[in-house]
Amino acid sequence: MKVVRHGDSLKAGVYEFSKAISAADALEKIIRGDVIAKSVTVREGLDRFAVARLFVAEGFGKAKDWDALTADPELIHDLAPEAASLEGYLFPDTYKFNPGTPAKTIIAAMVQNFRAHFAGEMAYIATGLNLHQTVTLASIVETEARLPQERPLVASVYLNRYRKNMLLGADPTVIYALKLDGRWDGNIHKADLQIDSPYNTYRKHGLPPGPIANPGVASLRAAAAPASSQFLYFVAKHDGSHAFSASYAEHERNVEVYQRQWYRDQKAAAATQQP
């Protein structure tokens, strides 16, 4: 059977035909553009380079295009004029796009999603920080806190240190500096803490110049309204939680209990299991 349609264009894309249909029905489907949208989930805490890899792996553009587009802060300039890139503003979410959607369109949608979820809450920032500083703090919280209930406490630690002009000493900022320098190998080494970078909060006072990852709304809210605390330190336990302390002496005790002693116990347990 020959099917002829005049005045209608065929829409490029990927189509799904779950059962046999007539040629006329197939043509109608292609004219309507009923393409299969691809779904990509961007989890909280990914940096812009990792976000790019996710979309490139699904066929949405090339890595060099993503790097160039996300390095341009123009889409967020009105809210964060000091932003040097779109890092921090690519809102984590599950996105669906038709195959062939340009990277530029996807990036614009992610920034718009940030605006929809957080930009309206600027009036509720209770720290004295501006929006860009708040997103920067939120990105550190996102990469440090594993338990949702600890996000406001982690934010309070960094804000307290910031206000006292103490070095923030956040490992994820060093990792980001290493990524920018092309030196990140998956492990942070003692020597890495000396990297000469504005993102190295072991050497540079204050917040880094911009976010180090893309935080979700929970971390953004925690950074905008942290818990009220006197905490200046925290150390990771081995269940995903942290022990918080207000003094260095207390912090050292926590390090001894939750880090050094834990490692000694693990080493002793391993030794008893050897034949």
pLDDT tens column, 17-38: 555 656 555 555 455 555 678 9
Place of tokens 């905008």: 224
Type and span of the H or E element at 139: helix 131-144
By the 8 A CB rule, do 76 and 214 touch? no
Q: How far apart are CA 204 and CA 52, in angstroms?
A: 28
Confidence of residue 264 (pLDDT cuts 50, 70, 90): confident
pLDDT of residue 37: 85
Q: What distances in angstroms separate CA 255 from CA 33, 150, 189, 239, one per listed residue?
A: 59, 18, 18, 15
* Residue boundaries of the structural domains of the chain: 1-36, 38-119, 130-263
pLDDT tens column, 148-191: 999 999 999 999 999 999 999 999 999 999 999 999 999 999 99
Using the predicted structure, report yes or no on whether residue 93 has a pLDDT greater than 80. yes
By the 8 A CB rule, do 3 and 24 touch? yes
Using the predicted structure, report yes or no on whether residue 270 has a pLDDT greater than 50. yes
By the 8 A CB rule, do 166 and 172 touch? no
Which residues partner with 235 through β-bridges? 243
pLDDT of residue 169: 97
pLDDT of residue 216: 96
Confidence of residue 262 (pLDDT cuts 50, 70, 90): low
Confidence of residue 1 (pLDDT cuts 50, 70, 90): very low
Q: How far apart are CA 248 and CA 234, in angstroms?
A: 10
Using the predicted structure, report yes or no on whether residue 141 has a pLDDT greater than 60. yes
What are the backbone angles phi and psi of residue 17, rounded to the nearest 5°? Answer: -120, 100
Average of per-residue pLDDT values in the chain: 89
Q: Which residue has the higher pLDDT, 236 or 33?
A: 236
Average pLDDT score over residue span 83-106 = 97
By the 8 A CB rule, do 96 and 38 touch? yes
Average pLDDT score over residue span 120-141 = 93
Q: How far apart are CA 84 and CA 71, in angstroms?
A: 7
Q: How far apart are CA 30 and CA 26, in angstroms?
A: 6
Average pLDDT score over residue span 133-159 = 97
Q: Give the pair of three-digit tokens for residue 270.
A: 């391993």
Using the predicted structure, report yes or no on whether residue 203 has a pLDDT greater than 70. yes
Confidence of residue 272 (pLDDT cuts 50, 70, 90): confident
